[in-house]
Amino acid sequence: MSKLYEYANFSFVVSKDSVQVAVEASNIVERLYKAKTRPEKACFNLGLATGGTPVLTYQELIKKSRHGSIDFSRIETFNLDEYLGLHPTHDQSYAHFMNHNLFSHVPIPSSSIHIPKGYFPDLEESSLDDVVKKECEEYEKLIVHKGGVDLWLIGIGRNGHIAFNEPGSSKSSRTRIVELTKDTIEANTRFFTDSDCSVPSRAVSVGIGTICEAREILLIATGANKQQALYDMVFGEPEHCPAAWLRGGAPVHVCVDESAFAKLEKHLEK
């Protein structure tokens, strides 16, 4: 049985383990999807994350698709980020991750899948940043053109980063090239153990401002190593914990396991 806690615009759903967290998170997606798509032609705009944390949630969403409770043909997706310099078919690109863990298992049209472009093979290094900047601006325009994101599904890094918005990121930041911190690179090294390259040092990421403009946000976190980041999200300084910029804005549903919530539990009432 999950426990519920409320604080400011945060709603915490605390579950026993990561499996139950995924179930709760997928139920939130389903509920908001159904609320938005009741009109016959309505479409649900869903922001998506990568990394180890959301994989179980994607498995639950695949089940819901197969059971008919979510129709992915009525969903448009927008990913948070992509490594700069990896081909979309590279086994560690986020395009490959999404296809492997979600898109190839649900009936979603390729035209409804939107991922920041991070691969520009024919560009010289001197012109790369200018071209990527224009691509980032187009990504922002696309989100607006599609009516905005109904729900961003995000994770949180050990240093409080959301997407690849590292400490020091501005609340008004938009989709852009970001330099990854040593901590984030080290955290992602485990995904590159069998790869033909090391973790890229740069990525394309939506900004904090982009995330905060979503109608609602779903943050998933599991494991004791996320305790401090979650605590700082609620009580810390945004300059040091980017997730703290979520305070006071759109509703944030936080699905966590007991180990990740342990530090916050002492400071929040049910």
Which residues are tagged catalytic?
A: 81, 159, 161, 166
Q: What is the CA radius of gyration of the chain?
A: 18
- Residue of 154, 223, 152, 225 whose CA lies nearest to 186: 225
Work out the angle at residue 248's Cα, subtended by the Cα atoms of residues 12 and 165, and round it to the nearest 5 degrees: 85
| Per-residue tokens: 57 | 């949630």
Residues 189 and 185: their CA atoms lie apart, in Å, by: 6
Q: Diameter of the chain by CA atoms?
A: 55
